[in-house]
């Protein structure tokens, strides 16, 4: 009798796996049928609502700044895959607190494209290669996520990528959970209700600021559009706050879609892989170029660096450039002008090297809190070799000197971009380093709404370092300003 026991157990186990595979296929087929997804090759949906700019809150306790979206049309070709996201934005925050192109005067149109492995933006007649998403994923990954985070796109990707299916009870209701890993290695998970309609889609990525971060899309109020079920209310959240709240007005399945890659995008040279270079801009003053620049100040036996933008890769490249330019002086301090994510994404890289972070006092608790988040998706140097961060918080002015060179770090409250903005003044060099006190508007001529921040910045400079000209002079001249950024 015992000799038959093992074969019998193996037969039962194999049968169980076979049944689970059949159940998963049946569940996916049921969701596809309910959505009308099988016959959907393309889709176009349009609506109005609000959107938010990731990583640009006024302060550490605020949500992403919000903009009104009076019109938005998204066109998707699921086969290519390809996407066109065409939206108009208007100012919503009043007063305009925070970053992300604020304040908008009038209306700003933004059009984002994806076709296969090409991503580009169009403003006016010109197509330009797309920069990384504001959460620092590649533009291609970000726009593929927008395709897979539609109900039809999700179920098509689930079928194509061997999704697993499980049943769960969530707040007393039975749900079907569908999980798959996309070709770009991102994990997606969808929640399906009793009508076999997708209620929620979640995916995760590694943010240089927030660590393991969830992107989610929530769907409600489905309606039938020519045999295709589609939600008429969509909310997307990236991290803790919404980036889109859209009321869908119209849906057109299987429209003709033509999203051709412009010749200048297809033929654009590959990004340079040459090491970054530190540019000497005066005696003992160095700049490393980029969307957000880093500036290094030589002291007698060390360097002070202003700004650690974007990502760890960027900070490593900046540190390597400075080691080549100034090989005998280690970086001892990093000045963070404000907490917006394009200015703080590389801070942890400096912490991993034992560098002290100088920032506004109010930012310290924020950084300490988010740096406790798990970092399993894209572990950085600090995650791999943990050490305690060293901070110096500023609430007024911090004077640093080596007996020859003075560095004056000044907090100027009241700017609507960020309440903790710091600027750095070098008196001997008559140089002022600032970031985002005022940024040129996205559309030429949209200056009136942005002038308030420029005026506040100018008045702050005058209060701290009044410069008197000879009697009879008509203008005043402030110290030479070196902007660490011209972005949001």
Domains, the chain, ranges and CATH?
22-260 (2.50.20.10), 278-442+452-485 (3.60.15.10)
Of all helices (H) and strands (E), which one includes residue 464? helix 451-464
Give 347-366 as a DSSP string. HHHHHHTTPEEEEEHHHHHH
d(CA 208, CA 91): 28
Torsion of CA 99, 101, 107, 112, to 10 degrees: -110
- The structure tokens 């036996």 sit at 301
d(CA 32, CA 59): 43
Cα three-residue angle 388-295-293, rounded to 5 degrees: 95
Provide the pLDDT for residue 465: 73
Residue 292 is classified by DSSP as B
d(CA 129, CA 141): 14
Distances in Å between the alpha carbon of 479 and those of 434, 465, 468, 471? 11, 9, 12, 19
Provide the pLDDT for residue 8: 38
Report residue 408 as tokens.
């004056």
d(CA 63, CA 21): 42
pLDDT in tens, 356-393: 999 999 999 999 999 999 999 999 999 999 999 999 99
Torsion of CA 78, 110, 312, 320, to 10 degrees: 120
% of the chain surpassing 70 pLDDT = 88
Report residue 350 as tokens.
């400096």
Distances in Å between the alpha carbon of 337 and those of 94, 221, 278, 440, 445? 24, 44, 20, 18, 27
Residue 423: strand pairing partners: 410
Q: Report the length, in residues, of the chain.
A: 488
Contact 479, 425 (CB under 8 A): yes
Nearest to 406 by CA among 422, 424, 433: 424
d(CA 92, CA 155): 35
Provide the pLDDT for residue 322: 98
Report residue 334 as tokens.
């990093």
What string of pLDDT tens digits covers the 488 residues of the chain? 444 444 434 433 333 233 267 788 999 999 999 999 999 999 999 999 999 999 999 999 999 999 999 999 999 999 999 999 999 999 999 999 999 888 888 888 999 999 999 999 998 788 999 999 989 999 999 999 999 999 999 999 999 999 999 999 988 899 999 999 999 999 999 999 999 999 999 999 999 999 999 999 999 999 999 999 999 999 999 999 999 999 999 999 999 999 999 999 999 998 888 999 999 999 999 999 988 899 999 999 999 999 999 999 999 999 999 999 999 999 999 999 999 999 999 999 999 999 999 999 999 999 999 999 999 999 999 999 999 999 999 999 999 999 999 999 999 988 899 999 999 999 999 899 999 887 665 555 555 555 777 788 888 888 877 654 344 433 333 334 444 543 44
Q: What backbone phi and psi angles, to 5 degrees, belong to 231?
A: -70, 145
- In sequence order, what are the residues at sequence separation of 6 or more whose Cβ sits closer than 8 angstroms to the Cβ of residue 287? 278, 279, 281, 293, 294, 295, 296, 482
d(CA 132, CA 340): 16
Provide the pLDDT for residue 447: 52
Residue 149: strand pairing partners: none
Nearest to 314 by CA among 335, 339, 342: 342
Look at the pTM and tell me if it is higher than 0.85. yes
Nearest to 56 by CA among 46, 65, 68, 66: 65
Provide the pLDDT for residue 181: 97
């Amino acid at each position: 009798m015992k000799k038959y026991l093992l074969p019998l157990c193996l037969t039962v186990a194999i049968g169980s796996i076979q049944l689970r595979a059949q159940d998963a296929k049946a569940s996916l087929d049921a969701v596809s049928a309910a959505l009308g997804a099988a016959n959907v090759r393309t889709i176009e949906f349009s609506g109005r609502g609000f959107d938010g700019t990731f990583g640009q809150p006024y302060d550490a306790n605020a949500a992403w700044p919000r903009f009104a979206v009076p019109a938005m049309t998204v066109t998707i070709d699921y086969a290519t895959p390809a996407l066109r996201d065409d939206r108009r934005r208007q100012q919503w925050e009043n007063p305009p607190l925070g970053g992300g192109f604020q304040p908008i005067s009038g209306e700003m149109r933004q059009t984002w494209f994806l076709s296969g492995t090409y991503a580009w933006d169009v403003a006016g007649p010109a197509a330009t290669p797309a920069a990384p998403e504001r959460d620092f994923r590649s533009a291609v990954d970000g726009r593929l996520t927008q395709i897979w985070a539609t109900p039809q796109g999700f179920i098509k990707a689930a079928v194509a990528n061997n999704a697993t299916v499980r049943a769960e009870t969530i707040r007393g209701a039975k749900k079907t959970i569908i999980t798959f890993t996309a070709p770009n290695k991102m994990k997606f998970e969808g929640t399906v209700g009793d009508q076999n309609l997708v209620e929620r889609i979640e995916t995760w990525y590694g943010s240089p600021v927030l660590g393991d971060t969830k992107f989610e899309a929530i769907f409600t109020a489905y309606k039938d559009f020519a045999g295709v079920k589609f939600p008429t209310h969509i909310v997307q959240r990236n991290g803790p706050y919404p980036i889109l709240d859209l009321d869908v007005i119209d849906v057109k399945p299987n429209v003709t879609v033509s999203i051709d890659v412009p010749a200048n995008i297809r033929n654009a040279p590959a990004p340079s892989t040459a090491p970054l270079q530190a540019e000497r801009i005066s005696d003992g003053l160095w700049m490393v170029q980029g969307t957000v620049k880093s500036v290094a100040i030589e002291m007698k036996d060390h360097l002070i660096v202003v700004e650690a933008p974007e990502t760890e890769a960027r900070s490593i490249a900046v540190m390597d450039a400075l080691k080549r330019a100034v090989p005998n002086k280690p970086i001892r301090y990093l000045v963070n002008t404000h907490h917006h994510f394009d200015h703080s994404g590389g801070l942890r890289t400096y912490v991993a090297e034992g560098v002290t972070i100088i920032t506004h006092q109010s930012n310290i608790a924020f950084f300490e809190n988010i740096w406790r988040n798990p970092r399993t998706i894209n572990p950085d140097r600090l995650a791999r070799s943990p050490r305690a961060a060293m901070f110096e918080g500023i609430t007024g002015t911090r004077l640093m000197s080596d007996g020859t060179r003075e560095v004056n770090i000044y907090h100027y409250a009241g700017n609507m971009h960020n309440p903790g903005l710091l600027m750095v003044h070098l008196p001997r060099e008559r140089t002022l380093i600032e970031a985002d006190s005022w940024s040129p508007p996205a559309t030429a001529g949209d200056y009136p709404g942005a002038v308030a921040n420029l005026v506040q910045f100018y008045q702050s400079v005058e209060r701290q370092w009044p410069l008197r000209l000879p009697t009879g002079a008509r203008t005043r001249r402030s110290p030479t300003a070196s902007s660490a950024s011209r972005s949001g």
